[in-house]
Structure 1
Amino acid sequence: MSAERAPSPTRWWTLGIVALGTFMLMLDLSVVAIALPQIHTSLHSSFSDLQWVVDAYALTLAIFLVTAGSFADRLGRKKVFQAGFALFTAASLACGLAGGAGTLSLFRGVQGIGAAIMFAVGPALLGHEFHGKERAAAFSGFGAAAGLAVATGPLIGGALTSSLSWRWIFFVNVPVGLVALVVAAARVPESFNRRAHRVDWGGVISLSVTLGALVFAIIRGTEEGWSSALILTLFAVSAVFLLVFLGIERSLGERAMIDLAFFRNPTFVGISAVSFVANAAGLPSVFIETNYVENMLHVDAWGAGLRFLPLTCALFVAGAVAGTLTGKVSFRLLMGASCLFLGTGLLLTHLADANSSWTALIPSLIITGIGMGSFNPTRAALAIGVAEPAKSGVASGINETFQQVGIAVGIAGVGALFQNRVAGDFTASQVGRQLGHGAAEQAATGITAGSLDTVAKGAGALHDQVVTAGREAFLSGFHSAMTLCGILALASAAIAFFMLRTKDLHSSALSLIPPEVDDDADVTEAGDGTTGGGTDKAPDPAVPSLSA
């Protein structure tokens, strides 16, 4: 058995490189939010452009996450991991040098492909190097690196943007990446799985078109008109290619990019839905809150990062507590409670009004941080707990894909609501009517992107009225967007309470859960034998089922 193998002398180097790569790729998912106002000013970008800066990364990360593992198993995990790291590093340099929003979004997409490769292959490298109890510690370090990046993103982004420029949130990856590549070449051993399936190119292409058309339609809906031919066509294309994708995956079975057999397990369906919906609320809320703090409260990037410290600290503490409770408290309760905290915290943003200081957001930041911090350790453990050990990596990869798709769709949808509400309120205001419909809509576009002061300066004698109406419209859009985020988070809590069941876990995970914390009538009830439920297979002590 793998637990009896001699420990690899290079295993801690492997953990260090994988953890570093994970920290960098997750940091680039959260650090950008703080820099968006500066990117807007520097590149003269619209609000839609800013959405794409975030979404291009999340989309490619989601699409290539599951597929990357197939490349690695066949070509060599170390080789493919290094290729992903090199692509991520090169794309980071290109992002920092970008001269326009379109170019930046393009290279953010390339960066996301590199990130997907690292994120998918990293756990496989750890699984090959670590065995027995050490494997649980290694996967805990992997998860801690991801959590640390998400928590410290606003602070690091604020420091780099304020002291240097927004370009340095990308440039900083270059020297770190080069050092990591050299160390990995010397210290990380190669491993293969020659029995791995070939890449599901049909699935990759059809999923890419599905998600790309959907997100593009949502982002452009406000400007093009939701009933316009372009937007309706994009939605239709997305729906058609989704059906094509499902048809391809069904025909390929276990060789598919996403094995649909997993979805026969109700709890796998539940945790996938929770991951999608909760993440559609989480990161988009940070995107909108950062816009509010920097543009309405006139706080610079470093100041904004400092003001997110209540969320960062709460996230750290809650993550540590949730890690100790995993396996001791039912998944249903932990997952449902974390989403309830998240939803409640997001709705508490209504304590802030047009004349508030940033301290009005403190209750929201703390409660939201508790929800975010307790969510990820529970989700990660449950995502692999529903699958047999041999398929736990695939199950985790699918769940991560749902997370990233949720982020991408959430950024697009919440951003569209924010933009639509600001435009509607401003054009309907008295000063909006004075400016005329066309000029008012153009002004509203600038307000959503954070250029209220610039818009007001161009209004001449109407300066003060534009400032007042612009602030009111912005706040209305902010509250509407945060309300949507809160509702999504509460909906994810309802899904968790109704769909997550202990009896759907695999026997290797059930063996680690004391009977007294079971939330079902019968934990030994068998599932379908494919991905969850009790089976006759003996637990594998090398699998970090509830410790990752």
Structure 2
Amino acid sequence: MRKWWPLVTVCLGTFMLLIDVTIVNVALPEMATDLGTSFSSLQWVVDGYALSLGVLLLGAGALSDLYGHRRFYVGGLIVFALASLACGLAADPALLVEARIVQGAGAAAMFTTTFALLNSSYQGRDRGVAYGIWGGVSGAASAVGPILGGLLTEGLSWRWIFLVNLPICVAAVIMCFRTLRHDGPAKRGRFDLAGTLAFTVAAGALTFAVIRANDVGWSSIKTWGLLVVSAVALAAFALIELRTPYAMFDLRLLRNRSFAGILLAGLLVNFAAFAAFTYTSIWLQSVVGLSPLQAGLTGLPMSICSVLASGIAGARLHGRSPRLVIGGGMLLIGLGSLLSGVLVHAGSSWPALIAGYAVVGLGVGLVMPSLASSAMGAVPHRRGGMAAGSLTTARQLGYAIGIAVLGTVFAARAADRLGSTEAAHAVAGGQAGRLAGQIPSSVIHSAAAAGLDAGFFISGAVGLLCALAVFVLVRPAPPAPAKKPELVEVG
């Protein structure tokens, strides 16, 4: 049993950092009421963490290779714990958002060292078992997040979704020094600081532009100015990565059509499958009237179907072309989102989500287990770590951009029905109760449903277009070599 303690140590950090992506969703209405947040601030509570985790992941990986994986993991745990404490004690929305961004930086330091720590702790069959358990823990975090968030928010306070991280971080830090191998002296090398800064500015400016459009509109010079900044920073990032010998991402990998298609699927899968969750959770609590726990439990059909599909895919589809598995999964995700958009209307409640969630879950179960292995299999072995890191970065960026885009669409559609941008932001931001007595309940329900429908239809379209791109870009798997007949010795 002693040999599995390094795995437990790594899984503790992984579970925490992944659960914090989704645990906040069911707590957003309570945060909005307690802190009096604006709609854009509420978006940043989710996006600040996902964006920080995504843009810093590759850079953190390069630094951990230089200065030691255990050191970086422990440092990430400490940063994550302090930021969680700041989140739990935040007295205003600005401090909460800032703490979430720092929390994402700590999560990036932890997540980027995961595979290296497991590789240094296990060999052979044990390594395969460790990766399997780690994958199961990662999947469970997404499923448990909304339920645990509902329990803590309903039973204690939304602040405890962050404060609960503290004892886990303390235990994980102690276990690091007792179970993980010492790093040894730091290695010589250079860090791609310019590339990291350019990529951070590009992703941050794009997300900020989309969220900012809620307040100032798409025609505003402020919105377009941020979009221009993002485009310039992205071009600068490309030039830097092409010229530096210490690039954190080798752009030549994108010449590989299969890898480009898989990376695109990584970017869009979280957008199509999960971004709408934030707004369905707000709708279920603020408009329909469910408790945080009840809202969290509505995601169970997706989780159950995802686990079932993942198990079937592992047993029956192993070795099949990633074009079919990932493309088929994205097709299901797109259809499931469209189904939710068709079923949700002004008089709907939580049952309208179940069928669409189940279909999306089947698609997620096909896509997620295949993405990492397909990405690493599509590039040279020496670039496997870079491929895995860039895929995780793409997934988190896709989630952050999805939250921003769907929030803008939700608010715009709700404003059309309500005739007021301020009222629309109250509905989208979990404060529909403030409108009681001012706007008829039926109008509020209609406005919220219109916003959700638009979000689901966009998510569905993204899923279908991504499926088409995967079918076009990802090359079919080469045929397996014919096995020579074995001679059977008799006697």
* Shorter-chain TM band: over 0.9
Quote the sequence identity (%): 36
- Contact 1:354/1:472 (<8 A) preserved: yes
SS at match of 1:294: helix
Q: Does 1:200 align with 2:192?
A: yes
Of 482, 489, 503, the residue aligned with 2:463 is: 489
Residues 473-488 of structure 1: matches in 2 within 5 Å?
473-488=447-462
**2:486 paired residue number:** none
Q: Does 1:116 align with 2:111?
A: no
Q: Does 1:455 align with 2:435?
A: yes
Of 259, 264, 269, the residue aligned with 1:268 is: 259
Return the alpha-carbon distance in structure 2 between the equivalents of residues 225 and 385 of structure 1.
43
**1:289 paired residue number:** 280
Q: Does 1:348 align with 2:322?
A: no
**2:52 paired residue number:** 60
Q: Does 1:307 align with 2:282?
A: no
Q: CA deviation digits over 1:2-37, x for unaligned, max 9?
A: xxxxxxx96522211111111110000011111111
Residues 443, 239 of structure 1: alpha-carbon distance in 2 compared, 3 angstrom cutoff: same
Residues 197, 396 of structure 1: alpha-carbon distance in 2 compared, 3 angstrom cutoff: farther
Of 237, 246, 250, the residue aligned with 1:245 is: 237
- Contact 1:74/1:192 (<8 A) preserved: no
Of 314, 321, 328, the residue aligned with 2:319 is: 328
My pick for the range that moved more, 152-161 or 318-327, is 318-327
Residues 172-187 of structure 1: matches in 2 within 5 Å?
172-187=164-179
Q: Does 1:338 align with 2:329?
A: yes
Return the alpha-carbon distance in structure 1 between the equivalents of residues 312 and 100 of structure 2.
34
Return the alpha-carbon distance in structure 1 between the equivalents of residues 306 and 160 of structure 2.
25
Q: Which amino acid aligns with 1:385?
A: G
| Structure 1: gaps spanning 5 or more residues | 1-8, 428-439, 504-509, 517-548
Q: Which amino acid aligns with 1:77?
A: H
- Contact 1:73/1:193 (<8 A) preserved: no
Return the alpha-carbon distance in structure 1 between the equivalents of residues 401 and 299 of structure 2.
24
Return the alpha-carbon distance in structure 1 between the equivalents of residues 31 and 312 of structure 2.
36
Q: Which amino acid aligns with 2:222?
A: L
Pairwise CA distance, 1:320: 2.2
Q: Does 1:228 align with 2:220?
A: yes
| Structure 2: gaps spanning 5 or more residues | 483-491
Return the alpha-carbon distance in structure 2 between the equivalents of residues 208 and 488 of structure 1.
24
State the aligned residue count. Answer: 481
Q: Does 1:390 align with 2:364?
A: no
- Contact 2:337/2:356 (<8 A) preserved: yes
**2:422 paired residue number:** 442
Pairwise CA distance, 1:411: 0.8
Of 128, 134, 139, the residue aligned with 2:120 is: 128
Q: Does 1:370 align with 2:362?
A: yes
Q: CA deviation digits over 1:59-96, x for unaligned, max 9?
A: 11111111112222221211111001111111111111
- Contact 1:77/1:192 (<8 A) preserved: no
Of 385, 394, 397, the residue aligned with 1:405 is: 397
Pairwise CA distance, 1:193: 9.0
Pairwise CA distance, 1:418: 0.9
Return the alpha-carbon distance in structure 1 between the equivalents of residues 317 and 237 of structure 2.
35
Return the alpha-carbon distance in structure 1 between the equivalents of residues 75 and 357 of structure 2.
38
SS at match of 2:436: helix
Residues 392, 233 of structure 1: alpha-carbon distance in 2 compared, 3 angstrom cutoff: same
Q: Which amino acid aligns with 2:344?
A: A
Q: CA deviation digits over 1:304-343, x for unaligned, max 9?
A: 1222221221122222222334533221111011111111
**RMSD (Å), alpha carbons:** 1.8
Return the alpha-carbon distance in structure 1 between the equivalents of residues 124 and 462 of structure 2.
39
Residues 404, 205 of structure 1: alpha-carbon distance in 2 compared, 3 angstrom cutoff: same
- Contact 1:70/1:196 (<8 A) preserved: no
Of 298, 308, 324, the residue aligned with 2:289 is: 298
Task: Name the TM-score, length of structure 1 as normaliser.
Answer: 0.84
Q: CA deviation digits over 1:418-468, x for unaligned, max 9?
A: 1111112211xxxxxxxxxxxx332222122122231133x2xxx43xx22
Pairwise CA distance, 1:194: 6.1
**2:488 paired residue number:** none
Q: Which amino acid aligns with 1:159?
A: L
- Contact 2:286/2:433 (<8 A) preserved: no
Return the alpha-carbon distance in structure 1 between the equivalents of residues 346 and 474 of structure 2.
41
Of 19, 24, 30, the residue aligned with 1:27 is: 19
Q: Does 1:12 align with 2:21?
A: no
Residues 515, 43 of structure 1: alpha-carbon distance in 2 compared, 3 angstrom cutoff: farther
- Contact 1:418/1:480 (<8 A) preserved: yes
Residues 515, 502 of structure 1: alpha-carbon distance in 2 compared, 3 angstrom cutoff: farther
Pairwise CA distance, 1:364: 1.0
Return the alpha-carbon distance in structure 2 between the equivalents of residues 348 and 388 of structure 1.
40
My pick for the range that moved more, 282-291 or 21-30, is 282-291
Q: CA deviation digits over 1:503-547, x for unaligned, max 9?
A: 5xxxxxx8xx8459xxxxxxxxxxxxxxxxxxxxxxxxxxxxxxx
Pairwise CA distance, 1:141: 2.0
Q: CA deviation digits over 1:468-526, x for unaligned, max 9?
A: 222211111110111001111111111121111245xxxxxx8xx8459xxxxxxxxxx
- Contact 1:319/1:377 (<8 A) preserved: yes
